[in-house]
Amino acid sequence: MNLAHTVGLWLLCLLLWGTATPAAAQNKQPPPKKTRLLFLLDASGSMLAKWEESQRWQVAKTMLARMADSLDSYKNLEIALRVYGHQSTVAQKNCKDTKLEVPFAPHNSENVKKKLQQIVPKGNTPLTYSLAQSANDFPEEENTRNVIIIITDGLESCGGDPCATSLALQKKRVFLKPFIIGLGDDPGYAQQFGCMGQYYNAADIKTFQQVLDNVVSIALKKTTVSVELTDDAGRPVETNVNLTFVNNVTGQAEYNFVHFLDKAGKPDVLDIDALLSYDLVVNTLPAVELRNLNIKPGQHNIFRVRAPQGYLYLRQDAPTSYGSMLALVREKGSAALLHTQRFPSQQKLLAGTYEVELLTMPRIRQTVTIKPGQATTVQFAPPGVLSVAQDLQGFGSLYVLEQDGSQRWVHTLPEGSSKISLPLQPGRYRIVFRMKSASGSQFTDVKDFTIKSNLTTTVKLFN
């Protein structure tokens, strides 16, 4: 095989690889996340209290063992057990009585069940300290979901702040929003546990079983979301907009998806982790937000967002002496800059009313209304040119003359030289100038002149 033939084959391979790679990248699915599920179990002395025909501890131990068995068959799942209040008596007031009794491992049910049989409740309720220590239980690994299920029958007894600790660890992304199952009917549970995460009240044994099953189901079942972007008539026809699902605990973006409609006009189905709380940001200009999405775990959820859009078309028919022209776009009544746009171009905007400021000289301000599915055109008259040929040192300003005879500042002349060639919008103007060498204000020169499109107007000072 000659050299030319070899090189040709090599180039063909490169070409085929280059064209195949984008399609493969489009269809590439991310690897499934591993879920780590930590049971944080209360073994304080109060867990020995009677509960219906049994003890709280006996019920919790039995149901947790049964749950561990049912989880053994799941792929990409590891469970662990941390217990508190079981190493010291109440009299010892040990507020650091907590221990990771069973570290994370796959198919871990036998270890969890064996350890549960060995534990005897006896001490205090150092819930906050235990929660803080649980941060060290999760191995550092990418592509994992860290979940905590807290089972307790009592409030914090060591003066800690479990809500602040839980929020801080969520913000550090140590674990997702915890589940808290309160055993028994204590009115104080909702107040203390509700701010820690998702609180469930298990007032009786039957409810406890249901809640435990439900929590594990939420943690492991697939949850999906579709977003319908509607026009003014409520039709889900808007698309090709970035959707950002923001974790409203950490403020970080968890997902970014560019919205898609299939051939039937249906939005696609997105996999979402239901263990987090989200705000949805639809990144139109300006953005539209839905706060605190009510996502139902283990189900398909549909959210409708009103986001009708039209176009702002900046039209420029020919080059001008301004060079590259810009416009500043603001929502009407807002001082905040929404967008900068160059001439000529077209930009999609949310339907509404905007202030558009053209960086001509003087600047032109227009109020425009963007209508759904339509383009609103903004253009400006071609500028003329002001020419001052004299090279004089002094102090001068340029003003536009309004229709009512008032003057408005436009430009300050350079002190080093009055020689300028300045593009200006058509209209009436005034130049005011005093030479640096003049001995008084009375030697100020004032001249009015008119600028016309595509023409040069020459002004001679002191003539």
Out of 1-10, 115-124, 141-150, 178-187, pick the least confident: 1-10
290: which strand partners? 280
Domain 34-220: assigned CATH number? 3.40.50.410
CATH 3.40.50.410 domain locations along the chain: 34-220
Residue-wise pLDDT for 66-121, tens only, equals 989 988 888 889 999 999 999 999 899 899 999 999 999 999 999 999 999 999 99
Nearest in space to 216 (alpha carbons), one of 57, 61, 68, 100: 68
Nearest in space to 98 (alpha carbons), one of 118, 117, 125: 125
pLDDT band at 4 (very low <50, low <70, confident <90, very high): very low
| 431 in Cβ contact with 449 (< 8 Å) | yes
Task: Report the pLDDT value the prediction gives residue 6, as an integer from 0 to 100.
Answer: 46
CATH 2.60.40.1120 domain locations along the chain: 222-306
Domain 309-378: assigned CATH number? 2.60.40
Q: Name, in order, each residue with C-beta under 8 angstroms of 280's C-beta and a sequence gap of 6 or more.
A: 227, 243, 244, 245, 246, 289, 290, 293, 303, 305
pLDDT band at 160 (very low <50, low <70, confident <90, very high): confident
Task: Report the pLDDT value the prediction gives residue 191, as an integer from 0 to 100.
Answer: 76
| 211 in Cβ contact with 200 (< 8 Å) | yes
CATH class of 384-458: mainly beta
- Sign of the CA dihedral with 25 first, then 26, 32, and 33 last: positive
CATH class of 222-306: mainly beta
| 252 in Cβ contact with 152 (< 8 Å) | no
Q: Name, in order, each residue with C-beta under 8 angstroms of 438's C-beta and a sequence gap of 6 or more.
A: 394, 444
Interhelix angle 109-118/56-71, rounded to 10 degrees, is 170
pLDDT band at 142 (very low <50, low <70, confident <90, very high): confident
326: which strand partners? 342
Burial of 366 (0-12, 13-18, 19+ CB in 10 A): middle
Residue-wise pLDDT for 188-239, tens only, equals 777 778 888 888 888 888 988 888 888 888 888 889 999 999 999 999 999 9
